[in-house]
Amino acid sequence: MSDSLPPPQFTANTVPLSVWKRPVRRTRLVWIAAVICAVWTSGLLGVYVGARIEKQNAPDAFHNSPVPVVLGKPRTGAFEQRLDVAAVTTALRPSVVSVSTDVRDSGQTGQGVGTGIVLTNDGQILTNAHVVAGATQVRVRLAGEGNPRIAKVLATDPGHDLALLAVGATGLIPATLADPANVRVGDEVLAIGYALDLDGEASVTLGIVSALGRTIRIDAGALDGLIQTDAAISSGNSGGPLVNAAGEVVGINTAVARSDATNTATSIGFSISMEQAIPEIAVLRSQASGTHRNEGYIGIGLSERTDGGEGAVVASVIAGLPADNAGIVELDVIVAIDGQQIDGGAGVIAAVRGHQPGEQISVVVERGGSKRTYLVDVIERPTEVG
């Protein structure tokens, strides 16, 4: 008799118990070893990822860039050819980023999305202030990258709806900002941005410059010098570029007119012009370096005209403040400030806020059918005014 057993024979659906027991014990040992290896590997991966994040979030990764922005050259005539959508889009994509936020308000949490523009090759980005308002964390996803980077808000100016961000990155491709005089009514333009947070790359829409020098009211006051465009702008486009045929950024997309019970709005979007944005970038950088930001104030309340005329009605004057001291009274209609025509209350707010305390402005008012000019000192806007 042989001292060895013949090899077991297996048939379909039968596994002898005596043969199955040892492989089960081995399999358990293999699984235990695999789990230990996985935990160990995950620990190392966590340390690695944590180190990367820590390095990315290090203070020197979020510096206020000294690199100047790239400015376009002035032009003297209209563009000779129509805007090449594919070529301009290809050129601008590396300079357009997605901005996502975690927001907490009144105990509720949520997420937001917008768009940003690369200003410098060392990670400085421009977007709208309302895109990052109330954010507990801001992330930026650069072109060509699948994962977002943590970003730091260096400075914000809700009154001009602009914010400066920084990410820990180098070798970026900055956008070219158009010469402020280079935009004209009728120019073809593209709006590029992460509309509605749709999957994939940024959306591109084509339109024209419909008007210049528009003024609108926002929660923080008013925006003036805006570009009006019929290029489609949607939620998520905020902070993205409005681009001309030369591939230069002529505006920062910021708002869209919406229909209400009494008005119908179709294809009316607004962008912050380079005339407003370029000097504001310098102010934001200064603010990021610790300089206190001052905004102008003269001590009046305003209401809109209801008779179809231009200008803004002085609804109230605070005693002892500059407007009162200069001689402006209730029911005066402000029609110009420093030679610039005023179309409504938003224009007054924007014009005054743009001046520094200690400066003096010329205010033209209509009273009793005649115009009068007053020189009004500007003081710092009180915090409680908002």
Catalytic machinery residues: 130, 161, 238
Token pair recorded at residue 131:
């895109």
* DSSP strands (E only) in 274-369: 296-297, 300-304, 312-317, 333-337, 340-341, 360-367
Distance between CA 182 and CA 262 in Å, rounded?
36
Helix or strand (DSSP H, E) at 211: strand 203-218
**Residue 270 to residue 231: CA distance in whole angstroms:** 10
Report residue 171: phi and psi, to 5°.
Answer: 75, 20
- Read off φ and ψ for residue 193, nearest 5 degrees: 180, 170
DSSP 316: E
Query: What are the φ and ψ backbone dihedral angles of 64, each rounded to 5 degrees?
Result: -85, 110
**Hey, CA dihedral for 368, 372, 375, 379, is it positive or negative?**
positive
Is there a contact between 287 and 293 (Cβ–Cβ < 8 Å)? yes
The amino acid occupying position 88 is: V
Spatial distance between the Cα atoms of 246 and 225, rounded to a whole number of angstroms? 22
